[in-house]
Amino acid sequence: PRTGWDNEIATLSNLRGQPQLDTLYKPEGGKIITDLEVDFDGRRIMFSSVGTEQDNWRVFEISATGSDLVQVTPDDGEDVGHFDSCYLPDGQILFCSTATYQGLPCEFGENVMACLYRLNRETGETRQLTFEQDSDWCPTLLHNGRVLYLRWEYADLPHSNSRILFHMNPDGTVQSEYYGSGSYFMPSYFYARPIPGHPTKVVGIAGGHHGTPRSGRLIVVDPALGRHEAQGIVQEIPGYGKRVEPIVRDRLVDGVWPQFLHPYPLSEKYYLATMKPRPNSLWGIYLVDVFDNVTLIKQVEGEALLEPIPLRETPRPPVVPDKVDLSQKDATVYLADVYQGPGLAEVPRGTIKQLRLVTYYFGSRGVGGLLFSIGMDGPWDIKRVLGTVPVEPDGSAVFDIPANTPVSIQPLDDEGKAVQLMRSWLVGMPGEKVSCVGCHENQNTVNPVRQATAAVREPSKIKPWYGPVRGFAFHREVQPVLDKYCVGCHDGQPRDDGTTLADLRGEEYITDWSSQQHGSTAAARGCAGIFSVSYGELHRYVRRTGAEGDLHMLSPGEFHADTTELVQILRNGHHNVKLDEEAWDRIITW
């Protein structure tokens, strides 16, 4: 609920004596206050609350003296919320917004999702920066002027363990992993902030997914040590001298004490945080350090003291120049060498001939890909084939992609079969030059020292896949192949010996599906009326990662088309069936 709260912004002073709490701002009508952020000059405070005119989240600003309250973000409708903001060095602000009008796939779209937007306070212009399946949270500034934030995604991944720490430029360019891609540990890492005096260390709250929300374990991370699982975990506080084990668990912090919230690093050794030591304790403000010293600063009976932030001037990070050209509709991707990185480890050079580019249609509110609503055993979202682009013999490629569009890449062999699957996406801003070294290369490695062949030519244009970009649907893309080559025998009619072959006609739809899944009517209904009998018969011969596939990176060729039974049957000359090139391509792409 956004109302009914007895809360306020308060200042805490006289810390060396008897700490004194004083009200700085208390809203009328019990409106909630959350997501506090102090400007670099220490004179202004932003926070999230209920809009002045519209009953949804809005970002507000107030002076450090408690005067001059203003609503910062615009009124974009009762069904759109803006919240969780941060100041940018050039005076603009970043905030989370539900203006994408997307819903959470694993809840049938019932929970609204939020992406990151930037507001120019002088012009009032608002621009969307991230284009996610799910939500982004907790944007904050790194020392180098880039934005750190938490991104949740699960394109054919376990949805409980796939919140990844990301960073990008304030204009939305160069979006990339900061920590945790392809890792089961930590399932979430909220409220991450950079540590003063260190170029890469951050501190945040490690938690689970289902179970205890937001609060959890206080953990320091340094991606310079590694970015996968527990490679970059420097220390847990308290936990001096102890190794942090990468436990694979959804409810990672249920029953764990103490519980932490809202860390604020003062130095490499000392941190402010909200902490609840035991189940029957209060949420108080504490000073903790890397040596396991825990000092209570203030607690109040019957209250929770949250979001401690020093009300002072802090160093203003450098302004990262904008690289976006809003007059452009495309971005350009430069790939140095597709064979670099573990994604195609030990794949012989010359194997990859082209790249298949795929985008997603993320579900709107009230629509989701849970429990067979998009496909049997996944995927979560509708996928759309953009087309293919060529790869040079040295593994390099350069090509244009539509801007502001999530794009997934699949490296293909000479038969158009995917040797690896990118179960994520990249996004290019208008006019951006997106660069990557290889296939899931480690950011902590250096680029190959040579000139790539593709770097000296014009970017390739995407070769369309049999027509305009569209949602990939079995009945439209695959059923015509079955109608041409298969239904002559697989017609659902009894044979002379009394047996019946699998019915591969597309007219009949599944009507008698039942499921052991609990939940809503839609879940119980399952596949009934959604998929054809033909789809139901054929999908069992096809291997795929599934909606909850292994979060770790797949081995090269693990889901190559040749590993699937359907392709093996057809390659072995199934009753002398000979597919033409397009028919093969449609089967393989499916």
In tens, the pLDDT along 278-332 reads: 999 999 999 999 999 999 999 999 999 999 999 999 999 999 999 999 999 999 9
Instruction: Provide CB contacts within 8 A for 540, sequence distance 6+.
Output: none
Which tokens hold the place of 570? Answer: 């057809």
pLDDT band at 584 (very low <50, low <70, confident <90, very high): very high
Tokens for 273, please give them: 């945080």
Residue 528 banded pLDDT, cuts 50, 70, 90:
low
pLDDT score for 521:
47
Q: Is residue 430 a contact partner of residue 404, using CB atoms and an 8 Å limit?
A: yes
Q: In the predicted model, is pLDDT for residue 517 greater than 60?
A: no
Check whether 25 has a pLDDT greater than 70.
yes
Phi, psi torsion values for 584, nearest 5 degrees: -60, -45
Could you give all domains of the chain from N- to C-terminal order, each with its CATH number?
9-298 (2.120.10.30), 330-589 (no CATH)
Main-chain phi, psi angles of 361, to 5 degrees: -110, 100
What pLDDT, in 10s, does the model give residues 113-160? 999 999 999 999 999 999 999 999 999 999 999 999 999 999 889 999
Is residue 526 pLDDT above 60, yes or no?
A: no
Q: Is 418 helix (H, G, I), strand (E, B) or coil?
A: strand
DSSP string, 517-561: --SSHHHHHTTTTTSBHHHHHHGGG-----TT--SSPPPTTTT-G
User: CA-to-CA distance for 6 and 241, rounded, in angstroms?
Assistant: 41
- Of the chain, the percentage scoring pLDDT greater than 90 comes to 85
133 near 380, Cβ under 8 Å? yes
pLDDT at 27: 96
- Return the pLDDT at 372: 67
Rounded to whole angstroms, what are the CA distances from 239 to 225, 246, 494? 19, 14, 69
Cα dihedral: 399, 402, 407, 411 (round 10) = -20
| 584 DSSP assignment | H
The 3-state DSSP class for residue 562 equals helix
User: Could you tell me the two tokens for 557?
Assistant: 């060729």
Greatest distance between any 2 Cα atoms in the chain: 96
Report CA-CA distances (Å) from 251 to 110, 148, 452. Answer: 22, 24, 46
> pTM of the entire structure?
0.95
Among candidate residues 400, 586, 413, the one with its CA nearest the CA of residue 485: 586
Q: Given pLDDT bands bounded at 50, 70 and 90, which one contains residue 201?
A: very high
* Paired strand residues for 221: 202, 233
How do residues 254-286 score in pLDDT, each as one tens digit?
999 999 999 999 999 999 999 999 999 999 999
Question: Residue 411: CB partners within 8 Å, gap ≥ 6?
Answer: 338, 343, 344, 352, 355, 391, 418, 419, 420, 439
Q: How far apart are CA 586 and CA 477, in angstroms?
A: 6
Average pLDDT over residues 337-361: 96
Mean pLDDT of 42-50: 98
**Can you tell me the distance from the alpha carbon of 585 to that of 387, in angstroms, rounded to the nearest whole number?**
12
100: left (phi over 0), alpha (psi -120 to 50) or beta: alpha
Contact predicate 311/25, CB 8 Å: no
The DSSP result for 78-91, as a single string, is TT--EEEEEE-TTS
pLDDT tens readout for residues 370-416: 766 788 887 889 999 999 999 999 999 999 999 999 999 999 999 99
The pLDDT-based confidence of 547 (bands split at 50, 70, 90) is confident
For residue 499, with 0-12 CB atoms within 10 Å meaning exposed, 13-18 middle and 19 or more buried, which class applies?
exposed
Cis peptide before 89 (omega within 30 of 0): no
pLDDT band at residue 11 under the 50/70/90 scheme: very high
pLDDT at 519 over 60: no
pLDDT (tens digit per residue) in 66-120: 999 999 999 999 999 999 999 999 999 999 999 999 999 888 888 999 999 999 9
